[in-house]
Structure 1
Amino acid sequence: MDYALLMLMSSLTLCLPFPSCSAPSVGFYAGSCPAAEIMVKNTVRSASDLDPTIPGKLLRLLFHDCFVEGCDASILLQGNGTERSDPGNRSVDGFAVIDSAKRLLEIFCPETVSCADILALAARDAVEYTGGPSVQIPTGRRDGRISAAANVRPNIIDTSFTLDEMAKLFSIKGLSVDDLVTLSGGHTIGRSHCSSFNDRFKVDPSGSVTVIDSTLDRQYAIQLTKMCPAGARDDSITVNNDPGTPFTFDNQYYRIVLEHKGLFQSDSALVNDNRTRNKVVEFANSRDGFFENWAVSFLKLSMIGVKTGDEGDIRQSCSMPN
């Protein structure tokens, strides 16, 4: 673990013995709501048992929240002109799981646990549920009061981004190129709509497949055209990000990317640049190495722009402001 991260964790845990301290810390709810993390974990587990796509949705939901206004649950607010209403978040899901956990917590610990913490914990638990590492994260985030659709597009990664575009945005959020490679491994779970990648190939009237993106394996492109008919934009059609182990959090994603079978252009970009290729190879060869790096990078992701004290609220409903 690098020195900067050790300093971050130390500063976040300084308040642990003092219940009145508002800074995020491990065990923040130990006195006010001791079962908070267990209740979130059980909610995630129950939802995922019924629908195996839930973990991938929760992890993506955290990314889209933290990259816009910080990890403050601003994406959960409903209404015209909110982040949630922007077309860039149209396919984001998992809201019902967060709402379910919040309702439970409001029964046992009213006005105590923030939606921002619930979302961060749920994403953490989603990874663990699917076989990934268990990560200890600080809690004590506050819910943001600002949620604007105009802030979405400039702050989220598009699947067509180049490495330079992704690295620039990650840097703005305090994340490194290594964090970019590591957190891209989240694509090892989840499903994606055809519209997010079908511009990489086309099918002519005779049925012949033309691969527009030369970094995409041709045989894989042919498989994708069968799952995504020509011109398909129907949001009901989705494809597994990882065709081999789609519901298991592992390092298979990196092996697929090295075989030029990454679903997105942004995946392929990782193996076509010397700044990132070696890390992709490293993770493809070592699940443990990937998991160790994931724990570090996920912690950094979950702490982007957190709000504390008077900077935010504890919402009574995650979808509505107080």
Structure 2
Amino acid sequence: MFSSSSSSSSLSFDFYAASCPSVELMVKNTVRQASELDPSIPGKLLRLLFHDCFVEGCDASVLLQGNGTERTDPANISLGGFPVIDSAKRVIEIFCPQTVSCADILALAARDSVQITGGPEIQIPTGRRDGRVSAASNVRPNIIDTSFSLDEMSKIFNSKGLSLDDLVILSGAHTIGSAHCSAFMDRFKANPKGKFTLIDTSLDKDYADQLTKQCPAGASSSSTVNNDPQTPLQFDNNYFKVLLAHKGLFQSDSVLVRNERTMNIVAELANDQNRFFDSWAVSFLKLTSIGVKAGDDGEIRQTCSATNG
């Protein structure tokens, strides 16, 4: 298990000031161009960061390809955005060879994804190194499942040095992005006629009807639904308003309004977007500092999908 402060002191805001001063601009331009071609990219990059940092820390271990790597676990099969990170890495290698880690590129790309979609512009330190270990067996014990209870989620967040407040605030990442139908169909049951019936009574009935139309029985496994039904491409506080209306897509969303403490945080963030943005900046900084590797721990990969030599 990793604490958010284990090696974060090795990170700095001017880490590449001399060695690669234009790194942040190169990452931002790559993310912006990719997002203009495919508006789903910001949500994918943000999700990719969460899945990286919660397993082995923020070390780009989720980017490694091969048998038995993190990417092969069912929880990670639907991850996207990998080509964007690879593209940014190729550009950076031209100007600053063997200097910038894939872990830093991923953290910066996720940060930029928030700003590009209307969220706050925040500074994050750099200096992460890339991990050499990526094992599918490490994924399940560390990743939040969409069917989790608040206690189950809180336990994992605490193990990463993140508080209950951080849990609610970072759940706001669901203000952008989409999900496969299979991620929330545990809230329904299929009847013999191939129709879905709502079994999770905490979900708004009209919204549930809308979901069954978007995800009919027998729908393609690639069918997706927006996390936020109203402003899916805008990073804003609407996600929290959606929760208060009992229209959280996942069980793990809905549980946030069933507990008095988390419900109060949700209500505060729903009522004040600036409060959400300020809180996001603090919690995101903690997220991107989980279990970072520094010094002789890790390497600077030449290609993000493979370890060196």
Offset, 1:235: 3.3
| Corresponding position: 1:87 with 2:74 | yes
Partner in structure 2 of residue 53 of structure 1:
40
Backbone CA RMSD of aligned residues: 1.4
Deviations 1:199-233 (A, max 9, x none): 2123535576521111111111111011101254x
TM-score (norm 1): 0.92
Distance 2:253 2:155 in 1: 16
1:82 counterpart letter in structure 2 = T
Aligned length: 303
Match of 1:185 among 172, 177, 182: 172
* Counterpart in the other structure of 1:16: none
Q: What's 2:26 paired with?
A: 39
Matched, 1:238 2:224: yes
The answer (yes or no) to whether the contact 1:203–1:225 under 8 Å persists in 2 is: no
1:161-211 CA-partner distances (Å, limit 9, x unpaired)? 000000000000000000000000000000000000012123535576521
Aligned to 1:292: 278
26, 40, 60: which one pairs with 1:73? 60
> 2:77 & 2:200 partners in 1: Cα distance?
25
Amino acid at match of 2:247: K
Which one of the candidate residues 283, 289, 294 is aligned to 1:308? 294
2:84 aligned to which of 82, 97, 105: 97
Aligned to 1:19: none
Structure 2: 5+ residue stretches without partners: none
Name the CA shift for 1:161/1:33 in 2 (closer, same or farther; >3 Å).
same
**1: distance between equivalents of 2:67 and 2:249?**
32
Report the alpha carbon displacement of residue 87 of structure 1 after superposing the two structures with TM: 1.2
TM-score (norm 2): 0.96
Secondary structure (helix, strand or coil) at the match of 2:31 reads helix
Alpha-carbon deviation of 1:35? Answer: 0.2
1:314 corresponds to which letter in structure 2? Answer: I
Aligned-pair CA distance for 1:29 = 0.3
CA distance in 1, matches of 2:269, 2:292: 29
1:216 alignment partner, one of 199, 203, 215: 203
For 2:89 and 2:257, locate their aligned partners in 1 and report how far apart those are by CA, in whole Å: 40
Deviation, structure 1 residue 100:
0.2
Amino acid of the structure 1 residue aligned with 2:164: V
Q: Which structure is richer in relative contact order (CA contacts within 8 A, separation 6 or more)?
A: 2
One-letter identity of the residue aligned with 2:215:
C
Structure 1 unaligned runs (5+)?
Answer: 13-22
Contact 2:195 2:217 in 1 (8 A): no
> Structure 1 residue 275: deviation in Å?
2.2
Separation (CA, whole Å) in 2 of partners of 1:317 and 1:48: 22
Q: Does 1:252 align with 2:248?
A: no
